[in-house]
Structures are given as C-alpha cells and as structure tokens.
Amino acid sequence: MAFPTEVLAGLGLNRNAPALMHVDLNACFASVEQQANPLLRGRPVAVAAYASPGGCIVSPSVEAKRFGVKVGMTVREGRLLCPGLVVLPPDPPKYRAAHLSLRRIFRDYSPDVEPKSIDEAVIDFAGTPALKRGLVEVAREIKGRVKEDVGCWMRCSVGIGTNRFLAKLAAGLQKPNGLVTLDHANLEAAYAKLSLTDLPGINVRFEARLNAAGIHTPPEFLAASPATLRQRVFRSIAGQQWSLRLRGWEADAVVFARRTYGQNYSIGGGCGDPHELSALLMKMAEKAGRRMRRDGWACRGVHVACVFADGTHWHVGRVRDEPLYATQDVHRRAMLLFNRRPGKRVAKLSVTCYELVKTHREQLALFETRADTMARLADAADAVNDRYGEFLLTPALMLGLEEKVIDRVSFGGVRELEDACGGEPEPPDPRRDY
C-alpha cells in the first residue's frame, strides 16, 4: 500500500482488525534435535556448523540460552558459559521435515502462507473463515497442532498484527512460547517499553542515524514526520515505508523474483592444491546447477569468489551470450575464471550462477548440438539422483568429496528451502472443519 507524502503526514494508526500472524518456531534446530532424541530434552543443547572449538553455534536450545549461549558464538565460548553444553552437527533433513510439517498446518487455515525462513512464516488470514473465529483462538489451536503434528517438545511464539512488521515484533515479545497481539489499542504502550534496536530491521547503524536526527526511542520514531525520516534519516523512500510500518500499515508485502543460484564452502585451514580446488568447484557447480535446473533455468553469468587464508579476498564474474545448463559447462566456465586468482591458499570458495534465462527443453532440434547432448545427460542424471538419492550419479571429479560441501540449511534461506522441498506444500485439506 503506497500513500502520497501529504497523506502520510496526517496518517494515523491502522485501526483495522489484525489479519496477519507471524509464527516463529523457538530454538528451531536445537528443539528438533531434542524432539528426535528424548535424552536431550531439558538439557542445554547447541547445533553448530562444526563441533570443533572454533565452530559457529547456529541454534542454542532454550536451556542453553539461559546460560547466555547465543547464536554466532563459537563452540569454545559456549562451553565456557555452559560446561555441560551438548554440541551437535546440523542434520538438515530433520529441519526440512519440521518446516514442511509447519507449512501443512498453516495451509489448513489460509492459502496465503509466506515462509520467511526455515523457522518462521507469515500467515495472511484476510477473507478466510479462520479470521471470523478470532486469531487468538486460531493461534492457540496452531500451537496445539504444532505439538501434536511436529512434536511434543516443539514450541512456537505467535505474533498477531495489522501488518507484517507488527506481527513479527509481537512474536518476539514473549519468547519462548508467547502469544501477543499488537494493534492500535496497545501499540504506543508497547513501543514505550522497547529500545530502537528491539524493532525488527533497526540495527545499530540505523539507530545511529535516528539518534543523529534526535530520535532515541520508538515513541519518538513513531512521532517523527515522514519528511524527517525520508530526508534526514534514511535519505530514501525507506523513510516513508517506516512511517507506514510503525503505524501498522503494510509496507513489506513484496516477493522478489529469483535472481541467482549459489553455493559457498569454507575450507578449514585453507587449500592450495589445484586438483582439490577444482573438485570442490565441481561439487559446488553441481549443487547450484541441480537447483537451477529443477526450477527450469539456465544461466548466462558465472561468478567466482575467494577468501584467502591471509584474510584478503578476490572475485570475478562474466556474462556470455550462450546459456549454461549442464554442471560440466558451469564448472568449465567457473574454472576459467578461478584460474585468474592470485596464487594463495583458499580459505573460502563461492560459485554463483546469475543472469538466469528460462529453458525450453520441450523443443527438439533437428540436428543435436553438444549443448543439447549435455543438457539431456544432465536431465537424465538429475532424474536418477531425484529418485534414488543425491549424488548417486556424479562427475568423476567429485569422487571422494562425500564429506565436503555437505548439505546445510540457513535460517534465512527461503529460496533453498523451496528448492529442497520441491515447491509449494500440499494444498489445504477440504475436509478440515474450520
């Protein structure tokens, strides 16, 4: 919803009935591990990218958070705060299964479900029978179904609001297992208890900008004019969007088109062996290429980036006229770029396919080219791997890489969840009694 500047200047709080719900699965990865293993329940658990002392903690359990363990800490730091901390490596299939179970539950209440990450989703109830029942009652029912369908140890926080921003803010106010509604009746009182960085989307950099304009609290932020926010703070249309957002009007209902498919990998200790680096590039090209082909795309551009063991970085990308579809073609292009790098040990490697173009595989060529042959081989290999297991058929260069560039799930990786889950979940069950 967009408003002219003169309308924004006199725009009050949104007094419509809340129709949006933000659901956040608490301590997602760690809770799923506790659900899968009852012996871990009630104990401080952390899922870390690597279980080694330098590994990064990506999900501490509710019990671990009570000791001060936080996302982003190293395993070493977590164990200093909590000597009894149980550290586990990620198990992505478990987390994706939990994510799909949540989406099936949500789709029973509304067809408009927007996953924000693997552990969060926004549900729009506008025009649904569930809205007439009252969203607080529906939220309590969803919480019960999460325990019933996903697991008895799983807890979620629910926020209800007139826009996505307020629903997300409400979901974070009473963690874990909270249920909060924010609307025109209690919005200003809620802002009075918060700091600027408690607001979703406001980090320390934006806080400094607001402070420089004389805005130090959320109530002052709410009272600031759209002109002040646009001209003095954000210096863009983002200022008007914040005026809408803070007052409960929708400013975030935007779905961005897919632009890239990428893969990155951190190499412990660094690597200077060109054969090993080439093999890693092949596996990364295969993982990115599989997702790209599954969605019906080819790419014209390939980008390669490195972080070296000495802390410096390098990157290069090129776009060509002919689209790339098969893994081997993506790898060949990536290697041509990668060979331009400085001769240093590589600590982190990244490959990205961009400048996407839709493929039209249904058109048969009279005289088949090499690209056509490679595309048919890629489709056949993908079909085998889809049916019998990932990486059953792979390029020979990938042999021996089973423990490298392994499966990962990111909290914000909504696109890769769609890739892994094969698109939309099953539709609502028409037999369900709303």
Does residue 406 have a pLDDT over 60?
Answer: no
How large is the average pLDDT for residues 96-120?
Answer: 92
Domain count, the chain: 1
Give residue 413's pLDDT band: very low, low, confident or very high (50, 70, 90).
low
Residue 174 forms part of a structural domain: no
pLDDT at 364 over 80: no
Nearest to 328 by CA among 308, 302, 362: 302
* pLDDT bucket at 429, cuts 50 / 70 / 90: very low
Which pLDDT score is estimated for 417? 54
pLDDT digits (tens, 9 = 90+) for 300-346: 999 999 999 998 999 999 999 889 999 999 999 999 999 999 989 99
| Half-sphere exposure in the Cβ direction for 214 (13 Å, CA) | 5
pLDDT band at residue 142 using 50, 70 and 90 as cut-offs: very high
Which residues span the domain enclosing 308? Answer: 261-421
- 3-state SS assignment for residue 348: strand
What is the tally of helices (H) and strands (E) in the chain? 17, 12
Cis peptide before 129 (omega within 30 of 0): no
Centroid of chain to Cα 141: 26
Q: Cα(226)–Cα(209) distance, rounded to whole angstroms?
A: 15
Which residues carry out catalysis?
A: 120
In this structure, is residue 342 part of a structural domain?
A: yes
CA-to-CA distance for 113 and 125, rounded, in angstroms? 9
- Assigned domain for 11 exists: no
Q: What is the pLDDT of residue 427?
A: 42
In a domain, 166, yes or no: no
CA angle 253, 109, 432 (to 5 degrees): 160
Q: Are 293 and 339 in contact (CB under 8 A)?
A: no
- The pLDDT, as a whole number, for residue 384 is 77
State which H helix or E strand residue 401 sits in: none
Which residues are paired to 265 by β-bridges?
Answer: 349
Q: Is the pLDDT of residue 366 over 70?
A: no
- Cα–Cα distance measured from residue 353 to residue 337, given in angstroms and rounded to the nearest whole number: 13
Give the mean pLDDT of 203-211: 95
DSSP assignment of 275-287 equals HHHHHHHHHHHHH
Q: What is the 3-state secondary structure (H, E, C) of 82-137?
A: CCCCEEECCCHHHHHHHHHHHHHHHHCCCCEEEEEECCEEEEECCCCHHHHHCHHH
Percentage, residues of the chain above pLDDT 90: 67
Question: Which H helix or E strand runs over 339?
Answer: none
Q: Could you tell me where the DSSP H helices lie in 134-237?
A: 135-145, 164-171, 187-192, 204-212, 218-223, 226-228
Contacts with 109 (C-beta within 8 Å, 6 or more apart), sequence order: 123, 125, 128, 130, 138, 142, 428, 434
Residue 394 included in any domain: yes
Residue 297's DSSP bridge partners are 358
pLDDT at 2: 52
Q: pLDDT of 288-304, one tens digit each?
A: 999 899 888 999 999 99
Show Cβ contacts of residue 94 under 8 Å, excluding neighbours closer than 6 positions. Answer: 32, 33, 36
Return the structure tokens found at 190. 């809620």
Domain with 340 in it: what CATH number?
Answer: 3.30.1490.100
Asked if residue 380 is part of any domain, the answer here is yes
The pTM for the full model equals 0.72
Phi, psi of 25 (to 5 degrees): -75, 120
Residue type, 406: I
Predicted local confidence at residue 266, as pLDDT: 84
Residues 6+ apart with CB under 8 A from 387: none
120, 158 Cβ separation under 8 angstroms: no
Residue 11: per-residue pLDDT: 72
Q: Identify whether 345 is part of a domain.
A: yes
| Mean pLDDT over the full length of the chain | 86
Greater model confidence, 391 or 364: 391
Confidence of residue 361 (pLDDT cuts 50, 70, 90): low
- Give the gyration radius of the chain's Cα atoms: 24
Strand blocks (E) in 259-384:
261-271, 297-308, 313-324, 346-358
Of the ranges 75-84, 199-208, 420-429, which one carries the lowest mean pLDDT score?
Answer: 420-429
Of the pLDDT bands very low, low, confident and very high (cuts 50, 70, 90), residue 196 is: very high
308-335 core/surface letters (b: 16 or more CB in 10 A; e: else): beeeeeeeeeeeeeebbbbbbbbbebbb
Tell whether 382 is covered by a domain: yes
Question: What are the b/e assignments for 232-242, b being 16+ CB within 10 Å?
Answer: bbbeeebbbbb
| pLDDT band (50, 70, 90) for residue 430 | very low
Tell me what pLDDT residue 259 has. 82
Share of the chain above pLDDT 70, in %: 84
Helix (H, G, I), strand (E, B) or coil at 291: helix
Check whether 48 has a pLDDT greater than 60. Answer: yes
Residues 6+ apart with CB under 8 A from 212: 233
Per the model's pLDDT, the better-predicted residue between 32 and 373 turns out to be 32
